[in-house]
Structure formats: structure tokens, C-alpha cells
Amino acid sequence: MNKDRRDGPPKLIRPRPPRLKPQLLAPAGSPASWAAAVEAGADAVYAGFSSFSARAYADNFSLAELSGVIEESRRCGVDVHIAFNSLIKEGELAQAFKTLMALAALKPAAFIIQDLGLAHLARSHCPQIPIHASTLTAAYTRGGLYALKSLGFSRAVLPRELGFKEIETLVSSDIMPLEMFVHGAMCFSFSGLCLFSSFLGGRSALRGGCTQPCRRSYLNAGKKRTFFSAADLEASEFIPAILSLPIGALKIEGRMKGPDYVRNTVRAYRLLIDGGPEGWEDSISEAGELLDEVAGRPAGIGFLKGFSAPLVPQGASGQEVGSFYPTGPDQGQVKLMRPIRLLDRLRLVPAPGQEGLSFKVRKMLVSDKEVAEARAGETVGLFVGRRSEAGDKKPGTARDLNVLPKGLLYLTSSGRTEKEYLSRPMVRKVKILADGYKAPSVALPRELKARTQGQAHGFAYLKHLWFWVQDLDSFPEILKSSPEKLILPLTADNVRTFGRLKRAFRSGPDIVWSLPPLLFSRSWEKTRRDLGSLTEQGFREFMVAGLGQAAFLARTEKKLKIWGDYRLGPMNRFAGHSLAELGFCGVTLSPELDQETYSGLVKSPWPGQILIYLFGRPALFTSRFQPQGLKHGPIVSERGEKFWAGTEGDAFTLYSESRIFMNACLKSPVPGPLAGLIADLRQEQRPGETARAVRKAVAEGRGSLGSGFNFKRGLR
């Protein structure tokens, strides 16, 4: 049960008729978990295809398996939502479209989509299937919901980082049906705004490949801690207040979890949703017992009370089994704190904050005899297979090591429970249905075959340099590098300073005012006033990081030029089309792009203008958390990588000491009409000097001012 209650849940907002009971939406990351969810009483499940899923390390399903799951779920009166929620690279569009149409033929209840390009294709080619906006679209304001609705989304999954009053405001706006998380893991970064995993190794969190750097230990001011590891969310005691809202669905996170987790969480929240006020005490007690059996991290109520959710001292998830000591390359022993059985899934964590090695128990010895089950107190010899729980897909697992480390063992999933559910008649029926499945033939539409030539490149780039500065202190030095435009954060200090220096800008570069990525309540009201003042002074160019901000600017009476910053960075041309529909005149391509994707974009017709994040330190975390105990100074990983904390509007941000410099992409044509090359100087100690170095490197077509991010190593 929750360990962080503070003042308890809020009072009921208003009575809710029983007929408006929300759906209970459960994770189905494997056939066993799907069966557990259906049997435990879920109204709907969400499952992922083997590709294009934001949980790439879950077992997931093939098309044939999904055909059986959808048909058998329909027989049980359970909806199936297909999580098609990965960002789609340009070169993947054809395969993604064929998969989309094959899935649509199965008639799922909905698609859960993050990529705005995929949403464009779904709306155009299979409008009969509702599309739900993934939490990764980061729609946390009414403007964001309006934007999603205009793009054809019929439901939005709210970010987990919202407070109860913020959720109430969005629900009461009645823009579209909404869905909220009530249980499961929380990311440190705000939903959809994390680049950390991608920056470290090319495995994008927005494409399902997250390696969870937030769960690791870092050194800061002489202390080694997991500064960014969030406690799990558990909103059980908030259910009466949540049920007072006309919310469409309550969602349990956990497609990476086993059937025992799914069974217990679904049973617990089923009790709480169905129980009346008169039986609440009994329901919460019984639900608590069920949730206490769930393997997970320490739990809290997240941001529901409006304060920063707690962070936990170590990043491992599961029930502690005991201390593991290696006795050979593939084996070790442990004195058990709790019983384990064959086929249980365990995670070996070398030290708090280090990435765990996951494996399934396939052989164990007690007193040199093979056993199928071992009791608490017994010393067990374990054989660690060279296969991870994600089917060898996840990096850093046991198969990558020659010698196993010592550390703590955690039980993450019961093998016996999994075996029980796999033997259910409904799972066998799914296999029979899958064996008879024949994938439909899908022809590509003309819009997916269209090709064009990229724009010219070379020294013409010099006239398109945009410098993004933190304030105006360095303006005289920046001016020497002749930028076409200056991007300036929209802060009260910058607005006041600009008022004093207005004359100096009469013959200088145009100003593009950038809005912070996260703006809540009072901060947003203050920003709206500053926006009004700036537009009255004649400013017409603004850069935004969220769909809601763009929707607000697009509704003003004045005709504005709205630019999208790198956090909106599209990876395919149809995402560009969707952003153009929302009023963007141009958008920054994703800094995560690899060379293959960039080259594919060059051959595709691009709507609007393009910005390229050429140089800088993009925020790896954009978070609503405020880490406790973090001191001024570098934050150092175990590999010696250095990072620095910062703020941007209402967000905590984390930057690498290493810069990125995408000079390599300038050696090929630009995918569309080039508006600008952005040199982000906000984290530079000598921005004027750095601006000159960037200009020289662009002019000469060479230079090593930073890494190429994923450009050459690839993006997974």
C-alpha cells in the first residue's frame, strides 16, 4: 500500500452515478498476463505488437497472436487497445502502415498512438478504429487536448505527473474522454520528454528502447545516490475522489510485469471501483492485502496531492530474495529470504542504482540435489542462463557478462503463476486462432510513395544561423557572428531587459521568443500576460515545446509564426503534416535522428519549413520532479560521464557536459525548405566565443565541437 499519504485523498468533488463507472484498463505484455487481466475482471486490456511499441522489451504479440487475443477478448466482453505508441522513423513508414492496416482489420477497440504521423495515417486510412493519444504526447493542458482532438484523437491518456486538481480541471473541460494512470512505475522525466537513454546509447525511450538511466546511481558532492529514481504510483486510496470525476478509464501500468502482478492489481482496483461507500473500509483493506503481494518498488501517491512525488533509495523493482554470491561463470548461491520456484523471474542487482541482470530460474540445487522449489532459509545454488527476461533484446543483461557479479536478488515474477495462466483454455484457444490467421495483403497508398529532392546545401547555411541564448548579457558579442535570428527565453527578466535595450535591436537579428517546455497554473497565467505584451509590441515569432502552447498561440487574433522546438521533433514527414495542421510554420527535426532516417526525409516531400538543432546541450530530462539532496556541481555516472542540473520554466532539466554537433548532416541536402540551424548557447560559459566557433565550423564544413548524437551510430 502507499507509504506516502500526507493528508489523505481529497474529498469527493461531486456524486457520480454508477452508470458512469470508468473502464479498468490493464496491461497485457504476454499471453499469461492477458489471461490474468481478463480473469481478474479488467474491462479492457492494452497490448503491444512485436514492433512499434513503447515497451519493446515486453514479450508483446505477433499479428497472429493478436488476432486470437482480440477475438477471445471480445467473446469475454473485454476491449483490446493496441499500443502502437512508438515514434516512427521515415524509413519505417511503409512497414508501419502495413502493420496498422493489418491490425485495423482485426477490429481492436482502439489504437494508442504517440507519433503524430501515424495518427495522420490512421485517421486517413482506418477512421473506423478510434485513436487514443498516448501519455507520451505530453498533453497536460486544455490547449493540448484541443490540439489532439483536432488531429482526430478520440481519447487522451493523461501524463502521470499531474495533480488531482489539474486532472479535475481537464476532465471538467469536457473536451474529450480522458484516461489516467492509477498504478505502476513512474518515469523521472515528464511523459514524452526524455532523451537520456537515447543520448547514452541510441536506445530511445520514445521508441520503447529505454535503458532506464534514471534508475542508476550518480555521484554528486561526494555522495552516491539514485537521485532520479521515482517511487511507483499507487492511487488506491484516491479511488473515491477519482470516481467523482467523469473519467473514461483508470489505467494500470505494467506491460513488462508478469501475470501475478496483473492479477493482483486488477483484482484490487476492481474491488475499489465496484465497492460502494458503505463497504469502503473492507474494500481498501482487501485491496491493500492484494497490492502488498505485488513485486514492485516502494509506492507513493505521485503528484496527486500536488507535491513532488518521492524518489526511492535504490532502483530495483521486486521482492528481495537474498544476497547472491557467484561460484562460477554461470552460477552462484543465495540464502533465501523467501521461497522461489523453477521458472520464477529474478533480477540480480550488483549494487543500488546499477542496472539489473534478469533471468528465469531453470535449474537450482539444494544440498547438491536438483529441486523444483526452495523454502525461505535454505541455501540454493542457482544457474543463471544467458538469456534476459526480454528475450535477449535488452542491453546490459546477464548474457553480456563473462563473470557474474555479487549483489542482491529480487523476485520480479512467479513462474508457477505464469505456467498456470498459460495452461488456461482461453490461452490455448488463442493459439488455435493464431494458427489459422492469414495476414491481409496491404497496398501502399500514393502518399507513401511520393518522393522529392532535398534542398541545396553548403555555404548558404551561414545565412540561416539561429543562436539560442539564455539572456541578453552576451548580445554584443553574439552580434559579431551575424545570426539571422536570436531565440530568447520568454522570462520576465528577459522581457524587462529587452525593453531597456530595444534600440540596439533595430538593425539586429529578428527575435524568436521561446516558451518553457512545462508551464502550470500561475506560471502559465504570467506567461500569457507577457505574451500579450510582446504581441502588442509587434513581435510575431514564438518557439514552443508543447501542443497546448501552439494551440493557444494559434487562437490569438494576431497572425503569428509558431516554431516547434526539438522536444516536438518529428521523425517522419506525416508528423510534419500534423504539426502544420496545428499552425506550425516550421519545426525542429528530432535531434535523435540517425543518418538513415535523415536521408529518408531528404527524399520525402516535407510540409512547411525545417529547423535543425545543430549544436548545444539538449535537455536529457525535462521533469516536474525536484530531486532531493542534489547539490551544485557535476552529477557523475559510474562511467565518468558528467551532467549538470538546470531549470527551464517549471521544469527541472539535466544536461550533459558533452555537447552535440550535427555537422555531419550538413554534408547532405536538407529535407525541406531550411529556416534555420540552431546553435543552442544557453549552457555555454562564453556564448560569444562559442558562437564564433560554430560559425567557423559551418563555413569550413568541418570541426569537432561535439558528438553526432545518434547520427552515425544509429537509432533503435
Locate the domains of the chain by residue range.
Answer: 18-187+231-307, 319-416, 451-618+659-700
CB count, 10 Å around CB of 232?
Answer: 22
Query: What percent of the chain is modeled with pLDDT above 70?
Result: 89
pLDDT of residue 398: 39
Q: What is the pLDDT of residues 59-102, one digit of tens each?
A: 679 999 999 999 999 999 999 999 999 999 999 999 999 999 99
Decide if pLDDT at 537 tops 90. Answer: no
Q: What is the mean pLDDT of residues 580-589?
A: 95
Residue type, 62: S
CB 578 within 8 A of CB 587: no
Structure confidence at residue 399 as a pLDDT band (50, 70, 90): very low
pLDDT of residue 54: 58
H or E segment and range at residue 587: strand 584-588
Q: What is the pLDDT of residues 375-390, one digit of tens each?
A: 999 999 998 865 443 3
pLDDT of residue 402: 52
CB 26 within 8 A of CB 42: yes
Structure confidence at residue 396 as a pLDDT band (50, 70, 90): very low
Structure confidence at residue 57 as a pLDDT band (50, 70, 90): low
Give 605 or 3, the one with higher predicted confidence.
605
Which range (172-186, 194-208, 393-407, 569-583) has the least confidence? 393-407
| The architecture CATH gives domain 18-187+231-307 | Alpha-Beta Barrel (3.20)
pLDDT of residue 352: 67
Predicted model pTM: 0.91
For all residues of the chain together, what is the average pLDDT?
A: 88
Q: What is the mean pLDDT of residues 457-485?
A: 84
pLDDT of residue 316: 63
H or E segment and range at residue 696: helix 687-700
Decide if pLDDT at 485 tops 70. Answer: yes
- Identical topology for domains 18-187+231-307 and 319-416: no
Q: Which of 84, 197, 193, 210 is nearest to 140 (CA)?
A: 193
CB count, 10 Å around CB of 610?
Answer: 23
pLDDT of residue 349: 85
pLDDT of residue 393: 43
- CATH code for the part of the protein at 451-618+659-700: 3.20.20.110
Residues 6+ apart with CB under 8 A from 676: 464, 465, 466, 484, 485, 611, 612
Domain at 319-416, CATH homologous superfamily? Translation factors (2.40.30.10)
CB count, 10 Å around CB of 554?
Answer: 17
Within 153-274, residue ranges assigned H as helices are 164-172, 196-201, 239-243, 259-274
Residue 101 in 3-state DSSP? helix
Which range (100-104, 175-179, 600-604, 685-689) has the least confidence? 600-604
Which range (261-265, 329-333, 655-659) has the least confidence? 329-333
DSSP 8-class letter at 613: E
Which range (280-289, 448-457, 635-644) has the least confidence? 448-457
Q: What is the pLDDT of residues 294-324, one digit of tens each?
A: 877 788 899 998 766 677 656 567 788 999 9
Tell me how far apart the terminal alpha carbons of the chain are, to the nearest angstrom. Answer: 36
